Amino acid sequence: MAVLFDLSTELLFEIISCLYAQWDDEPSGLWSLSETCKRLNGFCGHWIFARYHLCLRSPNYSYFTPIDTVGSLESWNLEAVTARLLHFRGKALYVQELILEDFRNDEVDEDEPGLFPDCILHDLVDALKEAIKVTTIEVTCGRGGILPLLLWEWITTKKLTDFIIGPHLAPPPDAKIHPNIHTFKGGLYEGPIQFLDLVCPEKILLNYQCLEDEQPKIYPYKPSGPHSSRLRKIVLEVTLPSEFDTPLFDFSSVPNATIKAQFNLNVTFDMYIPAAWKRLKHKLLIVFTEGLDEYDVARSSRGGATVRRPTLAEIESGWKPKNAVHLKGEDAERAEEEEMEFLYALDRWEQLGRRRVLILDV
């Protein structure tokens, strides 16, 4: 009588792949199956550990080894880190997306070693070299710091689909350029993203969040350097500060790149959207150095704005923007305010009606 393990390796892979898809690409459903036997454990590892979060120190509490505790993750513990590296080595062949984290919390202990300390750095890089299928790398370090040169040299050996860098993280001195990155992801905060000088991607995704309760120093962004000519697409996710009087973005140096920017409204309730849109509309007029004449400006689903600029070739071939909502006058704004007031009034009446029905039922 045939049993499950009489099936070929290819067919077992196909069955597990179908299960993985049925569970909405969540590997958690495969954990129980992986504990059945060594053969299924090996098969399931391709999905369970395709995305691996390797923590030296972290507030996220990802337990991968028996000795992991809150204390051994929050502060430096060489024994625990060594155990995590041993676990990673055993799963390295499965890893395609690697999240590398070392969150140094000097508020807890000033004597904590620096980011990716020398006492473990060589062992860390040796373990990472076993991850031969990695195509996405994310490095995050909480409050930032300088990435060790040895670690950056390993990263430059990988041909990456995505490279994601955490805030306030700087490259090592004398770092070489990484020529094989398709998409770079980062965030603009109180200073430039220094790694942009070391990569030459085709696509850049930047998060630019200036929330009202933080008001960080505003840092403009302009693609520059010899590698900017390779850029084909720039995507921005932006929450603008409440006040600024100079342009924040200058894309005149990359005419061959498509620009797409999502400007969000920093509002809690929908009733504040009309007023927030008024403020955003005026900010949009000065946010780009080159102005908005060649940009398509449309309202987004959450009331903000989606701004798009095609390539220079498209513009020269006759492309014209279809939307220019930032130019709509006071009549359109007043109509939006009245509609929002009506919707909130209708909601209040419906709530009052439900309360009356409940009272009558009693």
What 3-state DSSP class applies to 192? coil
Taken in order 75, 77, 78, 80, the sign of the CA dihedral is negative
- List the chain domain ranges: 49-196, 202-328
Instruction: Using alpha carbons, select from 347, 333, 331 the residue that is nearest to residue 303.
Output: 333
Give percent of the chain above pLDDT 70.
69
What are the residues facing 140 on neighbouring strands?
101
Note the pTM of the prediction, 2 decimals.
0.80
* Total residue count of the chain as it appears in this document: 362
CA distances from 43 to 4, 15, 37, 120 (A): 13, 10, 10, 31
Give the per-residue pLDDT at 18.
67
Give the per-residue pLDDT at 233.
94
133: exposed, middle or buried (Cβ count in 10 Å: 0-12, 13-18, 19+): middle
Residue keyed to tokens 């279809």: 322
Rounded Cα–Cα distance for residues 104 and 116 (Å): 9
How would residue 362 be classed by pLDDT, with cut points 50, 70 and 90?
very low
Higher pLDDT, residue 287 or 216 = 287
Give the per-residue pLDDT at 96.
94
What is the tens place of the pLDDT at every residue in 215-266?
A: 556 678 888 877 788 899 999 988 877 677 788 889 988 989 999 999 888 7
Instruction: Using alpha carbons, select from 180, 177, 174, 140 the residue that is nearest to residue 158.
Output: 180
Taken in order 229, 230, 235, 239, the sign of the CA dihedral is negative
The per-residue DSSP string of 66-94 comes to TT--HHHHHS--HHHHHHHHHHHHHHGGG
What 3-state DSSP class applies to 354? helix
Q: Are 303 and 265 within 8 A, CB to CB? A: yes
Rounded Cα–Cα distance for residues 362 and 355 (Å): 11
Whether the per-residue pLDDT at 67 is higher than 80: the answer is no
The strand pair at 136-140 and 97-102 is best described as: parallel
What 3-state DSSP class applies to 41? helix
Please tell me what DSSP assigns to residue 227. T
Q: Are 203 and 184 within 8 A, CB to CB? A: yes
Give the per-residue pLDDT at 293.
86
CA distances from 324 to 272, 283, 313 (A): 22, 14, 21
Residue keyed to tokens 């041909």: 159
Please tell me what DSSP assigns to residue 190. S
79-86 long-range Cβ contacts below 8 angstroms, 24+ apart: 81/56, 81/120, 82/120, 82/123, 84/54, 84/55, 84/56, 85/54, 85/120, 85/123, 85/124, 85/127
What is the tens place of the pLDDT at every residue in 85-136?
A: 998 998 899 999 999 999 887 666 667 888 899 999 999 999 999 999 999 9
